[in-house]
Chains A and B, each alone.
Chain A
Amino acid sequence: MIPYPTTRDHLLARIRDFADHEAWLEFERLYRPAIYRLGRIRGLREADAQDLVQSVLVAVANKIDSWHADPARAKFRTWLARVATNQAITILRQRRPDEAQGGTSVQIRLREQPQQDEVTEELRRQSQREVFRMAARRVREEFEEPTWQAFWQTTIESRSVAEVAETLSRTAGAIYTARSRVMHRLAEVVREIQRDE
Chain B
Amino acid sequence: MNTANSRCNPSSIHRFFSNDLAEDSCERLEYHVTSCVTCQERLQKESAEKDLWVATKESLQDDAYDLEPLSDTYSKLEYFSGHLDIQTLLDSLAPSDDPRMLGRLDGFEIAGVVGSGGMGIVLKAFEPALARYVAVKVLNPELWRNEMARQRFSREARAAASVIHENVIEIYSVSTDSAIPYLTMPYLRGETLAQRIANRGPLGVEEVLRISRQLAAGVGAAHRQGLVHRDIKPANVFLSQGAERVRITDFGLAYAVSDDRLTQTGVVSGTPAFMSPEQIKGESLDQRSDLFSLGSVMYMMCASDQPFHGETVMHKLRMICDETPTKLERINPSIPTWLAAIVDRLHQKSPDDRYASADELVRDLDSCLANLQNPLSFSQPKTIHRLQARYVKSARAPRSNFMAPIAYGCLLILLATGVTAGLSPQLFSGLLLAEKSDQPIALSGRVVNHKGEPVAGATVLAVQKTWPNDQYRQAALKTTTNADGTFTFKGFGIQGEKYAFLLTSLADGYAMTSQYKVVSDGQPQPLIILSVTPCDPTRIRVVDADGNALPDVKVLPDSRKTAAGEEHMTYSMQVSDGKATDKEGQVTLYAFAAKDTASIYVEQQGNVTSHSIQVGEPVNTIKLEAIKAPISVQGRVVTTDGKPLAEAKVIVVKKTWPGGRFRMEPVLSKTSDSGEFILKDFVPGQLKHEFMVTIIEPGFAMTSLYRGMDDADQDAPMNLVVEPTEVITFTLSDADGKPLAEVLLSPTQRETVDGVSHHNYSINREAVSVTTNAAGEATMSAWNAGEKGTLLYNVDGKVGTIEFQVPESRQISLRIPKAN
**Interaction A to B:** yes
Binding site for B on A (CB under 8 A): 1-7, 9-10, 12-14, 17-18, 32-33, 36-37, 40-41, 45, 47-51, 53-55, 58-59, 62, 90, 94, 96, 98-101, 128-129, 131-133, 136-137, 140, 152, 155-156, 158, 171-174, 176-177, 180-181, 183-184, 186-187, 190
- Extra contacts, 8 of them, besides A54-B518, A140-B73, A183-B53 (Cβ < 8 A), are A9-B707, A37-B66, A47-B520, A173-B29, A173-B31, A174-B34, A184-B47, A187-B49
Residue numbers in B under 8 Å from A174 (CB-CB): 30, 34
Sample of 21 A–B contacts (CB below 8 Å):
A5-B706, A5-B757, A32-B67, A47-B525, A99-B448, A100-B529, A101-B527, A132-B60, A133-B60, A133-B70, A137-B73, A156-B57, A172-B35, A177-B29, A177-B43, A180-B43, A180-B44, A183-B53, A186-B48, A187-B47, A187-B48
B397 vs chain A, min Cβ distance (A)? 43
Contact B55 A128 (CB under 8 A): yes
B16, B34, B35, B755: the one contacting A3 at CB < 8 Å is B755
In angstroms, Cα B515 to Cα A136, docked, is: 35
Closest B-chain residue to A184, C-beta based? Answer: B47
Contact A5 B705 (CB under 8 A): yes
Closest B-chain residue to A17, C-beta based? Answer: B99
Which residues from 17 to 55 on chain B have a C-beta closer than 8 Å to any C-beta of chain A?
Answer: 17, 26, 29-35, 40, 43-44, 46-49, 52-53, 55
Contact B57 A55 (CB under 8 A): no
Contact A4 B99 (CB under 8 A): yes
B33, B448, B531, B706: the one contacting A177 at CB < 8 Å is B33
Contact A36 B690 (CB under 8 A): no
In angstroms, Cα B68 to Cα A63, docked, is: 28
Residue numbers in A under 8 Å from B107 (CB-CB): none
Contact B705 A7 (CB under 8 A): yes
Contact B690 A13 (CB under 8 A): yes
Contact A156 B61 (CB under 8 A): yes
Closest A-chain residue to B69, C-beta based? Answer: A133
In angstroms, Cα B67 to Cα A172, docked, is: 34
Q: DSSP majority for the A interface?
A: helix
Residue numbers in B under 8 Å from A59 (CB-CB): 567
Residue numbers in A under 8 Å from B95 (CB-CB): 1-3
Whether, in the assembled complex, B315 has its beta carbon less than 8 Å from a beta carbon of chain A, the answer is: no
Contact B526 A100 (CB under 8 A): yes
In angstroms, Cα B46 to Cα A49, docked, is: 39
Q: A13-B708, A177-B30, A187-B47 are in contact. Are A36 and B526 (CB under 8 A)?
A: no
Number of residue pairs spanning A and B whose beta carbons lie under 8 angstroms apart: 172
A185 vs chain B, min Cβ distance (A)? 9
In angstroms, Cα B690 to Cα A171, docked, is: 67
In angstroms, Cα B99 to Cα A122, docked, is: 37
A34 vs chain B, min Cβ distance (A)? 10
Residue numbers in A under 8 Å from B523 (CB-CB): 47
Contact B48 A9 (CB under 8 A): no
Give the most central of A32, A37, A128, A173: most B CB within 10 Å: A173
In angstroms, Cα B56 to Cα A131, docked, is: 10
Contact B48 A184 (CB under 8 A): yes
B70, B516, B520: the one contacting A137 at CB < 8 Å is B70
Closest B-chain residue to A191, C-beta based? Answer: B52
In angstroms, Cα B502 to Cα A54, docked, is: 11
Closest A-chain residue to B73, C-beta based? Answer: A137
In angstroms, Cα B706 to Cα A183, docked, is: 49
A184 vs chain B, min Cβ distance (A)? 4
The 3 closest A-B pairs by CB, nearest first: A173-B34, A132-B59, A10-B706
Q: A177-B33, A184-B17 are in contact. Are A37 and B47 (CB under 8 A)?
A: no
Whether, in the assembled complex, B179 has its beta carbon less than 8 Å from a beta carbon of chain A, the answer is: no
Closest A-chain residue to B692, C-beta based? Answer: A5
B652 vs chain A, min Cβ distance (A)? 14
In angstroms, Cα B44 to Cα A171, docked, is: 17
Contact A129 B516 (CB under 8 A): no
In angstroms, Cα B30 to Cα A45, docked, is: 47
Closest A-chain residue to B6, C-beta based? Answer: A173
In angstroms, Cα B33 to Cα A58, docked, is: 53
A51, A137, A158, A186: the one contacting B518 at CB < 8 Å is A51
Contact B526 A45 (CB under 8 A): yes
Q: A50-B520, A55-B516, A187-B48 are in contact. Are A2 and B96 (CB under 8 A)?
A: yes
Closest A-chain residue to B516, C-beta based? Answer: A54
Mark contacts of B679-703 with chain A using CB atoms, 8 A cut-off: 1 yes-contact digit, 0 otherwise: 0000000000010000000000000
B48, B59, B64: the one contacting A133 at CB < 8 Å is B59
Q: A47-B518, A128-B55, A176-B43 are in contact. Are A5 and B704 (CB under 8 A)?
A: yes
